[in-house]
Amino acid sequence: MPNPLFDTLFGQHSTSDAEFLQLPGGRSLSYKAFLDRAAQYAGAMTSMGLVVGDRVAVQTAKSPETLAVYAACVQAGLVFLPLNTAYTPAEVAYFVENSGARLVLGDESRRDALATIADRCNAKLETLNADGAGSFPSLAVSFPASFETVPRSEGDLAALLYTSGTTGRSKGAMLSQGNLLSNAQVLRQEWRFTSQDILLHALPIFHTHGLFVATNITLLCGGQMIFLPKFDLDEVITELPRATAMMGVPTFYTRLLGDKRFTKELSAHMRLFVSGSAPLLADTHIQFEERTGHRILERYGMTETNMNTSNPYEGERRAGTVGFPLPGIEVKITDPKTGQTIPNGDIGQIEVHGPNVFQGYWQMPDKTAEELRTDGFFITGDLGMVDEDGYVTIVGRNKDLIISGGYNIYPKEIELILDEQDGVLESAVIGVPHPDFGESVLAVIVAKPDQEPDLDAIAANMTASLARFKQPQQLVLLPELPRNTMGKVQKKALREQFAGTFA
């Protein structure tokens, strides 16, 4: 019996001496060397008594070794559970306990805190550091560089990824082999990746974007990755001439645009720039195209589904939209109250259906039933619309919808107007409690470098552009917006910060 995910992504390269990872300092790692290491890791984990279906919680720095743990889990039939390196011990404790992880891998510097968690949850603990050292690789080195791949099917669980938990306890999204494999195959085709591609990889690998999009596509096509520990502006500018493609979050592109070294000549050889994980400002699209001649390809995905839509590789990449549903994936806009599909041009909740959609939330049948319909459509929690040409536009999260005096207010509509005002770099619009209206609109503004937006003038412009009930009752200037590690604005933090404004 085969193991579809391992065979297709990894196994095809088992004897290949072709370069897989280009690493800092001029080092590199071939496909064969990488898979030999993964086989040793698989042997080490099974020697600890881990069996098919056991969860492996991994809170380690981005490195070839961490990536090899992912490959080892797939080969051994274990469930890979990557954790954000910024999570506190209390957060990690929840993930380990909730998942029932049998093994925890972490950095040596956190050993004491992780040991307490592992002991309490009856899990084994091993260390794996950013430089590849630690108790786990030391144990694994004694195992053979070959491992008999464990048979699995496309329906079997391959990974467990926890959501960000912005509306309560994080939920563990169960992703099957088929979920991951089908999405990688579609994206390789849609974005035209081949073995000749060299992907500049500066994303974290505890998240869908850097792991199941960037890495899986590269493995599938047999390309190479310039594997950077993180986004470092100097490193990215240095390495860019050797790459053909780059995937990033909006802040990657705004930081590149802020550096005079980033020129049309520097990016002339590039084939593709992809952006996701957070909305890309239309102004960034325009500036990027003016500077480089390239138009960034924006797409839409999430933890539970990987990628759902994409602007076209060939054709108009329309700023402010996330393009069309990917092949094999259905997207519909529905009324949040009735679940009925609504006409193009109307705003509603986004629902998706396809082989990419997850299996449900780990040990949360009620939550699964709330968000995963019996016909397989997943209620994403995002609000959006489809225009007359079929392009999908995201207008915000359902939880970010503002209801003031009985009126529905979509923050994105206001943010688009604010972002066009003189001196404004970006904005975030939130609803905060109001004694008369239930909620009222507050807008947070970040100024462009060395500029001071005229808040009175902006407020006056809002009067001309928006109905009275949509107009922000207060404009606040902040040095920056709170974001998570993937660049998403954390509106929950803003709502908490300004909760008493209209009390």
Where in the chain are the domains? 4-15+28-152, 190-397, 401-497
Rounded Cα gap, residues 89 and 285, in angstroms: 39
pLDDT at 315 over 60: yes
Instruction: For 483-498, write each residue's pLDDT tens digit.
Output: 877 678 888 889 889 9
Condensed to tens digits (0 to 9), the pLDDT of residues 14-49 reads: 999 999 999 998 899 999 999 999 999 999 999 999
- Closest by CA to 176, choosing from 152, 157, 153, 161, is 157
Same fold, 4-15+28-152 and 401-497: no
List helix spans (H) across 277-387: 282-292, 365-371
The per-residue pLDDT for 334 is 95
Distant-in-sequence contacts of 294-300, Cβ < 8 A, 24+ apart: 294/267, 294/270, 296/253, 297/191, 297/272, 297/273, 297/323, 298/274, 298/322, 298/323, 299/274, 299/275, 299/323, 300/276, 300/392, 300/394
Quote the CA–CA distance of 321 and 232 in Å, as a whole number: 28
> Model confidence over 316-369: pLDDT tens digits?
999 889 999 999 999 999 998 899 999 999 999 999 999 999 999 999 999 999
Band of pLDDT at residue 436, cut at 50, 70 and 90: low
Model confidence over 293-309: pLDDT tens digits?
999 999 999 999 999 99
Instruction: Say if domain 4-15+28-152 classifies as CATH 3.40.50.1100.
Output: no
CATH number belonging to domain 190-397: 3.40.50.12780
* The two three-digit tokens of residue 120, written as one number: 């309490």
Measured CA distances, 278 to 79, 166, 248 (Å): 27, 15, 10
- Note the pLDDT of residue 167: 45
Only one residue has tokens 């910024």, namely 86
Beta-ladder partners of 247 = 201, 274
Q: What is the pLDDT of residues 92-102, one digit of tens each?
A: 999 999 999 99
* CATH T-level assignment (fold) for domain 401-497: GMP Synthetase; Chain A, domain 3 (3.30.300)
Is the whole-model pTM more than 0.75?
A: yes
Q: Which residue has the tokens 């619309």?
A: 385
pLDDT in tens, 238-282: 999 999 999 998 889 989 999 999 999 999 999 999 998 877 878
Beta bridge partners of 351: 332, 379
| Average pLDDT over all residues of the chain | 92
Cα(453)–Cα(1) distance, rounded to whole angstroms?
A: 64
The sign of the dihedral angle between the CA atoms of 308, 301, 415, 342 is: positive
446 close to 489: Cβ distance less than 8 angstroms = no
Q: Is the pLDDT of residue 1 over 70?
A: no
Question: Residue 359 carries which DSSP code?
Answer: -
The model's confidence at residue 165, banded by pLDDT at 50, 70 and 90, is low
